[in-house]
Structure 1
């Protein structure tokens, strides 16, 4: 990857729908080589996918983070297998210290959130949880998102 590839990535991170012609103009190349560079970045896995950032406040959805503490007999790979089966979990992080893991959950309302947390607790491997509801969020790349 060279400086132009990095410039292209910066532009796409700000807005993945930026037309190739606009990117080409910004990086001072023609559209064809920029298109080839983007395709190469996709094939090599540098660009994994394109996403839409939704304003959760307007969509009627709720985000929350739940800290998870595990029983001593469970490893994080086992927890990962359990968590992957919960469709409301958007991200899963194992972390150093206490707690053992952190999950980001997206649900329709607080009652739905309670059901999801209870599902994780019922595994018998989770010894404790602490849930934090997102009131407002800001993303460096997306700006205010809720």
Structure 2
């Protein structure tokens, strides 16, 4: 495992808040000169700690007003069934996140669509087309987002 020092943690903290920071701005924020900051960022990218840079879009401002948490139970718990389900879900643009979970359901999907008719179409035409894979689904409609962040807490462990 790659070990982060205090400077790496500071760099990651600032980049998680604003990935468009220029190296010069970042170097001022973390109190290091340009070259070490540039090299650290490149190393964090190379090590896969920084996976990619993205623009976060306000879903409601682009008409995606309905968020649904959809729990999915598979009919059968075989590797082949799980892989077929995952492969299908990876192609669904409505699904922002897919988590493999324990308990009554096998997967948790975070689905974002324009409205209820679009969700119904997604459920019937896409998830429903996986009838030989899916045993059951349960939909929970998000009434409001209380906290939504992409930033990880990166406090270093001492010792």
Q: What's the CA shift string for 1:99-144, capped at 9, x where partnerless?
A: 11111112222211111112212212212111122232222457xx
Residue 71 of structure 1 corresponds to 75
Residue 154 of structure 2 corresponds to none
- Taking the aligned partners of 2:92 and 2:148, their CA distance within structure 1 comes to 25
The answer to whether the aligner puts 1:103 opposite 2:112 as a matched pair is no
Stretch deviating more after TM superposition (70-79 or 122-131): 70-79
Residue 115 of structure 1 corresponds to 121
Of Structure 1 and Structure 2, the greater strand share is in: 1
**For residues 84 and 140 of structure 1, do their structure 2 counterparts lie closer, same or farther at Cα, with a shift above 3 Å needed?**
closer
Residue 155 of structure 2 corresponds to none
**What RMSD, in angstroms, separates the aligned Cα atoms of the two structures?**
1.8
TM-score by length of 1: 0.86
Q: What is the number of residues matched between the two proteins?
A: 142
Residue 139 of structure 1 corresponds to 148
Give 3-state SS (helix, strand or coil) of 1:54's partner: coil
**Which gives a bigger RCO, structure 1 or 2 (Cα 8 Å, sep 6+)?**
2
Shift of 1:48: 0.5
Structure 2 unmatched runs, 5+: 152-159
**For residues 73 and 10 of structure 1, do their structure 2 counterparts lie closer, same or farther at Cα, with a shift above 3 Å needed?**
closer
List aligned pairs for 1:1-146, cutoff 5 A: 1-61=4-64, 62-72=66-76, 74=78, 75-118=81-124, 119-124=126-131, 125-137=133-145, 138-140=147-149
Shift of 1:79: 1.6
